[in-house]
C-alpha cells in the first residue's frame, strides 16, 4: 500500500494526534480523558503512520520497541507507588504538591498523575504490540 | 529463629556469586556457616530456654508465622546443623570431581533451611510449606545425576509419594484445624480433648499420618527410600540421619500432646511401625550393595521410631528420642564410610570388596564402632538405646508379647546385618585383590570420626545427654514427667538377658550366612517368591494408567478447537443464566422510559441493523465497516447517557480494531464458505440463546438496587480528596489505582502472549 496523499498528510496529523493525546492525558483528572484514552490516541497516531507507509517501515523507524513502551510504562506506574511505600501510608495513597502559579490558580501535581503517565505509556506499547504482530 | 532461616536463604543465594578459591572452598564455607548456626542455636537455647517469635501473616485467616525453639526443636536443630556441618565437610571430599556443584550446594543448604523451618514451626500451615519444600528440594538433590534414568525415576517416585502424602496431611491439618479454629500447635495442645472427642478426629488423624508415613517411609510407602539411594552419598547421609525421613517422627512428637493417647493412635502407629521395622531389616540382610543395606536399615530404624511413638508410654517416647540421636550418629557415619569406600575402590558391591582392614585401618575402626552402635552393643550409645527400647516394649500395657517378639526378631537380624556389613567389607578374603585407587583425605574422615567419637563418649557418659537435653524434649511431649537418668549398666535384669540373647542369636545368624552360602541362595529364592508383588511396580502401573486416562480426557475436553471452546462456554453460561431466570421467575422489567428520547432510538435501530447486516455481508471490507458502525453506535449510546470517558474509549478501541483489520486484510485468504447450513442453524440458535440471555442480564442489572452510598462517596470525595473533577478518572488512578495497575499488567501480558503466539519459529522462514 503506497498512498502518496496519506504520506503527505500523515506527519501533521500524527503530531496533532500526539498533542491531543498528551492534552487528553493531562486534563484527565478533571475532564474526560486520562492515561488510557491518551494512550489509545497516541497509539492511533502511530497506527495511522503505518497505514500511510507500511507496518514494517514504521517498526524500523521507531526508536523504542513496543516492549520498551510497556516496560517503561509499568516502571513509571510502579514508581508512583514508591512514595506511599516509603511514607509508610497505605499502598497507593496519593501524595500531592500544590504550586501557586497565579493568585487564583493552584497547580496540583501528585502521584496519580505519574501513575496515569505510566498507564499512558503501557497502553501505547500494548496497541503497538498488537498492530505490529498482527500485521506480520 | 526467623533470622536463622533468613541467613540460610541469603547464604544460598550468595553461593551463586562465588568465584575462584571461594568456589573451590564452597562446601567448607557452608560447613563453617552451619557450625556457626549450631553454636548460635545452642547459645540461644541454653541461655534463654524456650523462645517464641511470631509475625503476622494472613490476619484475615487468623494465620501468623510462629517460630519456636523448645526441647524437641532444639534436639532436631542440633542434629540438622551439627550433622549438616559434617556433611558439608564431607561433601568437599566426595563432590570434588563433579561439575554443577554450585546448584548442588545451594539445594543442600536450602534443604537444611527447610528442615530447620519444619522444626521451628509453631503453626501447621507454615510447617506444611516447609514440609513440601523439603520434598521438592530432595527431588532436586536425588536427581543430581540426572543423566541416569534410574536416578530420575527414583527421584520422581520419591517426589510423587511425598507430595501425595503432603496433600493428605494438609487435608488432615485443615480438618482438625476446623475443630479448634486454629492452626497453631499450641492451640491444638490446649484443646486436645475437644479434638479427640470430635467426629473429625479419626479422619484427620489418618490423613495426617499418611503424610507422616510417606515422608518417614513407613509401610506401605517405604519403597521410595531405597530408590533415593541414587542421590550423591552426602545427600543420603544427610537425608537418612538428621533430616527428611526424620521429619515424620518430629511431627509425631509435636502432635503427640494434641492427637496422641487414643486407641487409634496406638493401633495405627504400632502396626505400621512394627511391620516397617521388620521388613526393613529383613530385606537389608541379603542386599548386595553397601548403600542399599544402609537404606533398608534406615527403614527399620524409622519403623522402630514409629512403633515407639505408637506404644505411647513415657518410657517408649524417651527411648524414641534417644534412638533418634543414636540412629542419626551411626547412620550418617556409615553412609559417609560407604561413600569413602566407593570413592577409594570404585565399587559399592560387597562381592568386589573385602580385606580392607589393613589398607584403611581408620575407616575400619569407624565402621566397626558405628556398626556396634547399630547392633546395640556396649560401649556405644546404641547399647543404651536398645536397652531402653526393650524396657519400653516389656512394659507395654497391652499386646506386649507380640510387639516384643517382633522387636527381638528384628533386632537379631539387625545384629546380623551389622556383623555382615563389617565382615564383608573389611574382614572377608576378597575374591580378587581390591585395588585402592585413592586414599581418602582429611575431609572425608572428619565427619565419620567426630560422629563415632561422640557416639562413644555419650555411650560411656550418658548423663551428658540424659541430663537436660532429652528431659527438655520429653517435657514438651508429656505434661507430667519424671526426669530420667541414663546409665550404661542396668544390672542383670530381664532386659539384659534379652539383649544377650539377641546378640548371640544375631551372631549365629551372621555365621550361618557366612559359612553356608547355600542358605543365602535359597533365602533369595524365597524372597523372590514373596516379592512377586512389588510396590514399585504397582506405583509405576498406577502412574502409567493415570497418564493414559488423562490423555483420554484431554481428547474430549482439551481438543484445541477455538470454536468449540467458545461454543461450550456460551452454552454453559446460557444454561446457568436461563435456569436462574426460570428459578426466580423474574420476567418483569421496569424500563424507565423518561430518559429515552427519539434520537437515541434512531441510534439503537441503526446499531441493530448494522449488526444484522454484518451477518449477511460476504465481503470482508464491508463486514468490517458495518461492524464499525455498530461499535460507534454503541459509543453514541454511552455518550447520550453521559458516560463520556466510556464513549471516548469505545470510539478509540473501535478505530484501532477497524484499522487493525484493514492492515491485516491484505494478508488474509479469500472469504471462504466453510460452513454448511446445518452449522449455520446451530450457530444461529446458540447466538440467539446467548444474546438474549445477556440482554436480559443487562436489563436486570439496572433493576438491582445497588448501594448508592458508594456512588455518593466517590462523587463527594473525588474532588475533596483526589483533587479531580472527573470522578471516573479519580477512581481509576487514585481510589482503585491498584486495580488499574493490575489490569494494565494483565493487558501487557496479553500483548506479550499475542506476540509470542504470532511470532513464527525462525526455522520456518523461507
For the purposes of burial, counting CB atoms within 10 Å of the CB of B408, is it exposed (0-12), middle (13-18) or buried (19 or more)?
middle
Element (H, E) at B510: helix B494-515
**B65, B57 in Cβ contact below 8 A?**
yes
Query: Residue B49's pLDDT is what?
Result: 82
Summarize pLDDT for A43-80 with one digit per residue, the tens: 888 888 887 887 788 888 888 888 889 999 999 988 88
Average pLDDT on B446-473 reads 83
- The partner residues of A6 in beta bridges, in order of sequence, read none
In sequence order, the 6+-apart residues with CB closer than 8 A to the CB of B671 are B618, B619, B620
Nearest by CB to B748, which of A32, A113, A122? A122
Q: Which three cell numbers stand for residue B710?
A: 458508594
A 77-106 residues with CB < 8 A to B: 77-78, 81, 91-92, 94, 96
Distance CA A77, CA B112 (A): 39
In sequence order, the 6+-apart residues with CB closer than 8 A to the CB of B368 are B422, B426
**Across the interface, do B759 and A136 touch by the CB < 8 Å criterion?**
yes
Q: How many CB atoms lie within 10 A of CB B526?
A: 10
**Across the interface, do B744 and A123 touch by the CB < 8 Å criterion?**
yes
Least Cα distance to B98 among B63, B144, B152 occurs for B144
The ranges assigned to domains in chain B are: 710-766
Query: Residue B596's pLDDT is what?
Result: 65
**Across the interface, do B725 and A30 touch by the CB < 8 Å criterion?**
yes
Half-sphere exposure of B86 toward its Cβ, with a 13 Å CA cutoff? 26
**Across the interface, do A115 and B652 touch by the CB < 8 Å criterion?**
no
Segment among A77-91, B419-433, B735-749 with least mean pLDDT: A77-91
Nearest by CB to B652, which of A40, A55, A110? A40
Asked if A49 reaches chain B (Cβ–Cβ under 8 Å), the answer is no
Summarize pLDDT for B390-417 with one digit per residue, the tens: 888 887 766 567 888 888 899 999 999 9
Average pLDDT on B130-153 reads 89
Least Cα distance to B531 among B139, B150, B153, B226 occurs for B226
Please report residues of B whose CB lies closer than 8 A to that of A110. 723
**Across the interface, do A31 and B726 touch by the CB < 8 Å criterion?**
yes
Instruction: Identify whether B220 is preceded by a cis peptide bond (ω within 30 of 0).
Output: yes
Summarize pLDDT for B296-312 with one digit per residue, the tens: 999 999 999 999 998 88
Residue corresponding to grid cell 468490517: B624
Strands A96-100 and B63-69: what pairing? unpaired
Half-sphere exposure of B197 toward its Cβ, with a 13 Å CA cutoff? 5
Q: How many CB atoms lie within 10 A of CB B421?
A: 28
Q: What share of chain A is helix, strand, coil (3-state, %, to 5)?
A: 70, 5, 25
Measured distance between the N- and C-terminal CA atoms of chain B, rounded to whole angstroms:
61
**Across the interface, do A125 and B748 touch by the CB < 8 Å criterion?**
yes
Asked if B656 reaches chain A (Cβ–Cβ under 8 Å), the answer is yes
Helix (H, G, I), strand (E, B) or coil at B68: strand
Summarize pLDDT for B244-262 with one digit per residue, the tens: 889 999 999 999 988 888 8
Please report residues of A whose CB lies closer than 8 A to that of B749. none
For residue B53, name the pLDDT band (cuts at 50, 70, 90). Answer: confident
Query: Residue B404's pLDDT is what?
Result: 85
For the purposes of burial, counting CB atoms within 10 Å of the CB of B752, is it exposed (0-12), middle (13-18) or buried (19 or more)?
middle
**B576, B687 in Cβ contact below 8 A?**
no
**Across the interface, do B748 and A43 touch by the CB < 8 Å criterion?**
no
Nearest CA in chain B to A117: B733
**B394, B499 in Cβ contact below 8 A?**
no
Asked if B655 reaches chain A (Cβ–Cβ under 8 Å), the answer is yes
Average pLDDT on B62-73 reads 87
Nearest by CB to B656, which of A1, A127, A136? A127
**Pick the residue with more confidence: B632 or B698?**
B632
> What are the b/e assignments for B652-685, b being 16+ CB within 10 Å?
bbbbbebbbbbbbeeeeeeeeeeeeeeeeeeeee
Average pLDDT on B102-113 reads 92
Summarize pLDDT for B574-631 with one digit per residue, the tens: 888 888 888 776 666 666 666 667 788 888 888 889 888 888 877 777 888 888 888 8
**Across the interface, do A134 and B652 touch by the CB < 8 Å criterion?**
no
- Does the pLDDT value for residue B766 go beyond 50? no
Summarize pLDDT for B198-218 with one digit per residue, the tens: 889 999 999 999 999 999 989
Least Cα distance to A112 among A12, A37, A25, A3 occurs for A25
Percentage of residues in chain B having pLDDT higher than 90: 23
Residue corresponding to grid cell 474430549: B556
**Pick the residue with more confidence: B436 or B301?**
B301
Residue corresponding to grid cell 507380640: B402
- The partner residues of B65 in beta bridges, in order of sequence, read B55
Q: How distant is the Cα of A63 from the closest Cα of chain B, in angstroms?
A: 19
Distance CA B131, CA B118 (A): 6
Average pLDDT taken over every residue of chain A: 82
CA distances from B596 to B365, B600, B603, B705 (A): 99, 7, 11, 20
Please report residues of B whose CB lies closer than 8 A to that of A37. 645, 648-649, 652
Residue corresponding to grid cell 511470532: B759
Average pLDDT on B94-98 reads 85
Biggest CA-to-CA distance, chain A: 57
Average pLDDT taken over every residue of chain B: 85
Q: How many CB atoms lie within 10 A of CB A100?
A: 9
Element (H, E) at B655: helix B644-665
Asked if B752 reaches chain A (Cβ–Cβ under 8 Å), the answer is yes
**Across the interface, do B660 and A91 touch by the CB < 8 Å criterion?**
no
- Does the pLDDT value for residue B698 go beyond 60? yes
For residue B764, name the pLDDT band (cuts at 50, 70, 90). Answer: very low
Q: Which three cell numbers stand for residue B166?
A: 503432603
**Pick the residue with more confidence: B425 or B537?**
B425
Element (H, E) at B65: strand B63-69
Q: How many CB atoms lie within 10 A of CB B439?
A: 13
Please report residues of B whose CB lies closer than 8 A to that of A30. 724-726
Distance CA B727, CA B717 (A): 9
In sequence order, the 6+-apart residues with CB closer than 8 A to the CB of B733 are A28, A29, A34, A35, A112, A113, A115, A116, A119, B740
CA distances from B327 to B313, B331, B364, B502, B565 (A): 21, 6, 19, 19, 58
Q: How many CB atoms lie within 10 A of CB B381?
A: 29
Measured distance between the N- and C-terminal CA atoms of chain A, rounded to whole angstroms:
15
Query: Residue B85's pLDDT is what?
Result: 94
Q: How distant is the Cα of B157 from the closest Cα of chain A, in angstroms?
A: 42
Query: Residue B170's pLDDT is what?
Result: 95
Residue corresponding to grid cell 436480559: B696
**Torsion, CA B714, CA B719, CA B724, CA B726, rounded to 10:** 50
Asked if B734 reaches chain A (Cβ–Cβ under 8 Å), the answer is yes
Asked if B595 reaches chain A (Cβ–Cβ under 8 Å), the answer is no
Distance CA B121, CA B125 (A): 9
Summarize pLDDT for B722-759 with one digit per residue, the tens: 777 777 778 877 778 888 888 888 988 988 888 888 77
Nearest CA in chain B to A133: B755
Helix (H, G, I), strand (E, B) or coil at B244: coil
**B447, B332 in Cβ contact below 8 A?**
yes
Please report residues of A whose CB lies closer than 8 A to that of B738. 91-92
Query: Residue B594's pLDDT is what?
Result: 61
Summarize pLDDT for B381-397 with one digit per residue, the tens: 888 888 888 888 887 76
Nearest CA in chain B to A32: B645
- Does the pLDDT value for residue A1 go beyond 60? no
**Across the interface, do B744 and A77 touch by the CB < 8 Å criterion?**
yes
**B301, B374 in Cβ contact below 8 A?**
no
Query: Residue B591's pLDDT is what?
Result: 61
Q: How many CB pairs under 8 A join A and B?
A: 140
Element (H, E) at A107: strand A106-110
Distance CA B30, CA B105 (A): 8
Please report residues of B whose CB lies closer than 8 A to that of A135. 663-664, 667
Amino acid at each position: 500500500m503506497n498512498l502518496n496523499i496519506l504520506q503527505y498528510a500523515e506527519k501533521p496529523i500524527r503530531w496533532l494526534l500526539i498533542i491531543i493525546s498528551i492534552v487528553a492525558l493531562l486534563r484527565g483528572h478533571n475532564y474526560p480523558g486520562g492515561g488510557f484514552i491518551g494512550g489509545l490516541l497516541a497509539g492511533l497516531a502511530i497506527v495511522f503512520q503505518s497505514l500511510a507507509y507500511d507496518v514494517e517501515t514504521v517498526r524500523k523507524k521507531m526508536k523504542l520497541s513496543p516492549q520498551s513502551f510497556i516496560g517503561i510504562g509499568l516502571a513509571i506506574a510502579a514508581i508512583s507507588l514508591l512514595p506511599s511505600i516509603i511514607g509508610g501510608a497505605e499502598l497507593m495513597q496519593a501524595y500531592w504538591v500544590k504550586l501557586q502559579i497565579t493568585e487564583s490558580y493552584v497547580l496540583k501535581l501528585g502521584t496519580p498523575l505519574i501513575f496515569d503517565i505510566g498507564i499512558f505509556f503501557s497502553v501505547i506499547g500494548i496497541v503497538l504490540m498488537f498492530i505490529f504482530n498482527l500485521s506480520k | 529463629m526467623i533470622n536463622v532461616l533468613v541467613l540460610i536463604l541469603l547464604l544460598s543465594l550468595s553461593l551463586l556469586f562465588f568465584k575462584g578459591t571461594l568456589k573451590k572452598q564452597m562446601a567448607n564455607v557452608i560447613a563453617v556457616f552451619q557450625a556457626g548456626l549450631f553454636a548460635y542455636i545452642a547459645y540461644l537455647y541454653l541461655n534463654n530456654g524456650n523462645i517464641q517469635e511470631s509475625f503476622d501473616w494472613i490476619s484475615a485467616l487468623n494465620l501468623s508465622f510462629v517460630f519456636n525453639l523448645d526441647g524437641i526443636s532444639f534436639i532436631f536443630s542440633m542434629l540438622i546443623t551439627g550433622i549438616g556441618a559434617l556433611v558439608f565437610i564431607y561433601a568437599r571430599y566426595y563432590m570434588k570431581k563433579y561439575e554443577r556443584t554450585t546448584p548442588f550446594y545451594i539445594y543442600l543448604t536450602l534443604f537444611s533451611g527447610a528442615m530447620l523451618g519444619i522444626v521451628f514451626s509453631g503453626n501447621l500451615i507454615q510447617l506444611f510449606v516447609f514440609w513440601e519444600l523439603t520434598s521438592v528440594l530432595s527431588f532436586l538433590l536425588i536427581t543430581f545425576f540426572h543423566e541416569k534414568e534410574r536416578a530420575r525415576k527414583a527421584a520422581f517416585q520419591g517426589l510423587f509419594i511425598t507430595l501425595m502424602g503432603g496433600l493428605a496431611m494438609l487435608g488432615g491439618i485443615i480438618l482438625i484445624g476446623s475443630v479448634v479454629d486454629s492452626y497453631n500447635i499450641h492451640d491444638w495442645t490446649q484443646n486436645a480433648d475437644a479434638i479427640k472427642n470430635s467426629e473429625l478426629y479419626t479422619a484427620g488423624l489418618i490423613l495426617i499420618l499418611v503424610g507422616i508415613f510417606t515422608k518417614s517411609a513407613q509401610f506401605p510407602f517405604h519403597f521410595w527410600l531405597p530408590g533415593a539411594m541414587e542421590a550423591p552419598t552426602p545427600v543420603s547421609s544427610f537425608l537418612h540421619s538428621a533430616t527428611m525421613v526424620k521429619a515424620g517422627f518430629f511431627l509425631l512428637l509435636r502432635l503427640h500432646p494434641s492427637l496422641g493417647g487414643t486407641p487409634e493412635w496406638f493401633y495405627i502407629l504400632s502396626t505400621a511401625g512394627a511391620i516397617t521395622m521388620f521388613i526393613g531389616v529383613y530385606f537389608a540382610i541379603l542386599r548386595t550393595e553397601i548403600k542399599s543395606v544402609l537404606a533398608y536399615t534406615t527403614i527399620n530404624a524409622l519403623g522402630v521410631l514409629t512403633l515407639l511413638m505408637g506404644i505411647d508410654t513415657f518410657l517408649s517416647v524417651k527411648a524414641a528420642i534417644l534412638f533418634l540421636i543414636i540412629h542419626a550418629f551411626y547412620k550418617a557415619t556409615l553412609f559417609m564410610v560407604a561413600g569413602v569406600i566407593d570413592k577409594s575402590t570404585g565399587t559399592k558391591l560387597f562381592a568386589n570388596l573385602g580385606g580392607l582392614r589393613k589398607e584403611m585401618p581408620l575407616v575400619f575402626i569407624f565402621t566397626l564402632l558405628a556398626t556396634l552402635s547399630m547392633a546395640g552393643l556396649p560401649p556405644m550409645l546404641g547399647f543404651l538405646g536398645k536397652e531402653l527400647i526393650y524396657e519400653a516394649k516389656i512394659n507395654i500395657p497391652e499386646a506386649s508379647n507380640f510387639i516384643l517378639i517382633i522387636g527381638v526378631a528384628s533386632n537379631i537380624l539387625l545384629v546380623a546385618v551389622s556383623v555382615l556389613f563389617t565382615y564383608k567389607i573389611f574382614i572377608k578374603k576378597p575374591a580378587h585383590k581390591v585395588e585402592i585407587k585413592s586414599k581418602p583425605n582429611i575431609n572425608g574422615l572428619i565427619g565419620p570420626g567426630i560422629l563415632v567419637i561422640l557416639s562413644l563418649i555419650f555411650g560411656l557418659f550418658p548423663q551428658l545427654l540424659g541430663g537436660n537435653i532429652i528431659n527438655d524434649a520429653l517435657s514438651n511431649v508429656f505434661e507430667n514427667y519424671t526426669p530420667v537418668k541414663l546409665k550404661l549398666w542396668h544390672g542383670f535384669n530381664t532386659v539384659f538377658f534379652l539383649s544377650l540373647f539377641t546378640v548371640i542369636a544375631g551372631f549365629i545368624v551372621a555365621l550361618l550366612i557366612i559359612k553356608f552360602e547355600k542358605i543365602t541362595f535359597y533365602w533369595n529364592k524365597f524372597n523372590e517368591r514373596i516379592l512377586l508383588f512389588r510396590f514399585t511396580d504397582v506405583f509405576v502401573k498406577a502412574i502409567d494408567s493415570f497418564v493414559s486416562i488423562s490423555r483420554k480426557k484431554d481428547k474430549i475436553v482439551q481438543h484445541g478447537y477455538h470454536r468449540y471452546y467458545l461454543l461450550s462456554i456460551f452454552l454453559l453460561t446460557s444454561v446457568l443464566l436461563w435456569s436462574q431466570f426460570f428459578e426466580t421467575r423474574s420476567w418483569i422489567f421496569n424500563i424507565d422510559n423518561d430518559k429515552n428520547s427519539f434520537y437515541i432510538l434512531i441510534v439503537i435501530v441503526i446499531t441493530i441493523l448494522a449488526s444484522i447486516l454484518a451477518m449477511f455481508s460476504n465481503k470482508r471490507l464491508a463486514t468490517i465497516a458495518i461492524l464499525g458502525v455498530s461499535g460507534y453506535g454503541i459509543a453514541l449510546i454511552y455518550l447520550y447517557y453521559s458516560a463520556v470517558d466510556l464513549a471516548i474509549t469505545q470510539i478509540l478501541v473501535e478505530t484501532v480494531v477497524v484499522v487493525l483489520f484493514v492492515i491485516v486484510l491484505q494478508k488474509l485468504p479469500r472469504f471462504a464458505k466453510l460452513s454448511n447450513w446445518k452449522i449455520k442453524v446451530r450457530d444461529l440458535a446458540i447466538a440467539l440463546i446467548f444474546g438474549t440471555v445477556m440482554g436480559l442480564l443487562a436489563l436486570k442489572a439496572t433493576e438491582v438496587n445497588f448501594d448508592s452510598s458508594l456512588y455518593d462517596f466517590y462523587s463527594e470525595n473525588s474532588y475533596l480528596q483526589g483533587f479531580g473533577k472527573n470522578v471516573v478518572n479519580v477512581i481509576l488512578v487514585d481510589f482503585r489505582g491498584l486495580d488499574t495497575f493490575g489490569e494494565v499488567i494483565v493487558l501487557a501480558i496479553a500483548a506479550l502472549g499475542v506476540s509470542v503466539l504470532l511470532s513464527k519459529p525462525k526455522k520456518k522462514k523461507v
